[in-house]
Amino acid sequence: MKKLLHPIAITFYVLALITSLPLILPNKSIKKYSDNELREVALSRDMSAVPKSYEELLKVVDNPQNPLSREKIALGKELFFDTRLSRDKTISCASCHNLKEGGDDNLPTAIGFHGRANPFHLNSPTVLNSALAKAQFWNGRAKDVEEQAGGPVQAPFEMNMTPKEVEQRLNSDTKLVDRFKKIFHKEHITFENVRKAIGAYERTLLTRGAYDRFLDGDNNAISASAKRGMTLFIEKGCKGCHTGMSVGGQSIQKFPLRRYFSDYIGIIFEPNIRIKESPFPFENRGGFLGKDDNLRFRVPILRNITKTAPYFHNGSVDKLEEAVRIMSKYQIGQEFSKEQIADMVEFLKTLEGELVKY
């Protein structure tokens, strides 16, 4: 009893109660929309469908510093699958970004040259729809897909090459040199133009699915459960961060946004108070703390999220339902019920899509 009444213990109990109030108090009722109203609300809040045609694609993803052309895109596609960009010629961009499996590798941490794992235990974000994002990598350190394309090639634990080595290797291929010359108007292949070609191809890797068909006007494209999940997504504020055509990737946000003393109390009785070591609501594998080590991460793209498990930067969560629960509690401050989680997952399933053949 004395341990229970210890002043420090009492303080923790009181603070835990206060910070848990959002989870205890009843949630406000969610608005109900007709199909047309739900669509109008979504479209008015920057939720939009992926374009169907090449001409519409250019309006969305073309880069003035790297103008798209069909020839450049075709060249970039070949390089995306070219193992010559890795030191031992066994790894390509596609090795970690499987276009048939959600655009990632479905591993907790990326595995590269000679089986080396990412030292921060970071997994591979999807390349699908990544051209729609305003920043690349988990800490947003690259501004676009062209800049991002050069990172894994040079990382010693990924493809383990230098720009000079890439240039020397590719310039020995006279047919490839001729193709680069026609597109970039330079006598030799440069690493910068390799990045630009790959980036051009990645700008076409957009997917469309049931979500897009609903936004285009097909009320039967998604289920009633998915519509409830979409309403929840909008009304609870999920779309505040997971916004834009890509449904994410538009900003750098703090995670976790909320903390609960109940997570940090640990064992307060024997022998001393133990504070939870991980700053996350899961194991801190790799010790990566985001941009500037300040728990700030690029908001993940939710399109095809059902195909990109495991979740979060270090792949510590296997199930999408658990990822939704964690986000509702630690970002929104209102832990979803089982029914709400089920509806949200049904909505997220509508974000699955097939590559548009531009």
Using CA atoms, how far apart are residues 178 and 176, in angstroms rounded to an integer?
A: 5
Tell whether the torsion through CA atoms of 267, 268, 273 and 276 is positive or negative: positive
Told to judge if 158 belongs to the known catalytic residues of this protein, a careful annotator would answer yes
184: left (phi over 0), alpha (psi -120 to 50) or beta: alpha
Give span(s): CATH 1.10.760.10, the chain. 7-50+208-355, 54-202
Retrieve residue 16's tokens: 């835990």
Using an 8 Å Cβ cutoff, are 206 and 50 in contact? yes
Among residues 342, 284, 270, the alpha carbon closest in space to that of 312 is found at 284
Looking at residue 275, its amino acid is: I
Fold entry, domain 54-202: Cytochrome Bc1 Complex; Chain D, domain 2 (1.10.760)
Name the DSSP letter for residue 120. Answer: T
**Residues in Cβ contact with 57 at an 8 Å cutoff, skipping those fewer than 6 apart:** 51, 203, 204, 206, 356, 358
pLDDT (0 to 100) of residue 3? 47
Using CA atoms, how far apart are residues 280 and 264, in angstroms rounded to an integer?
A: 11
Helices 224-235 and 338-349, packing angle to 10 deg: 100
Peptide bond into 271 cis (omega under 30): yes
The series of mean pLDDT values per 10 residues for the chain, 358 residues long, is 50 51 59 96 96 97 98 98 98 96 95 95 97 98 98 97 98 98 98 98 98 98 98 97 97 95 61 69 96 98 98 98 98 97 98 97
Domain spanning 7-50+208-355, CATH class: mainly alpha
Active-site annotation holder among 158, 167, 202, 346: 158
Retrieve residue 140's tokens: 């947003």
Among residues 219, 107, 97, 91, the alpha carbon closest in space to that of 156 is found at 91
Using CA atoms, how far apart are residues 331 and 27, in angstroms rounded to an integer?
A: 15
Q: Taking the CA atoms of the chain, what radius of gyration do you get in angstroms? A: 23
Could you tell me where the DSSP H helices lie in 114-265? 145-154, 163-171, 174-184, 191-202, 210-215, 224-235, 261-264
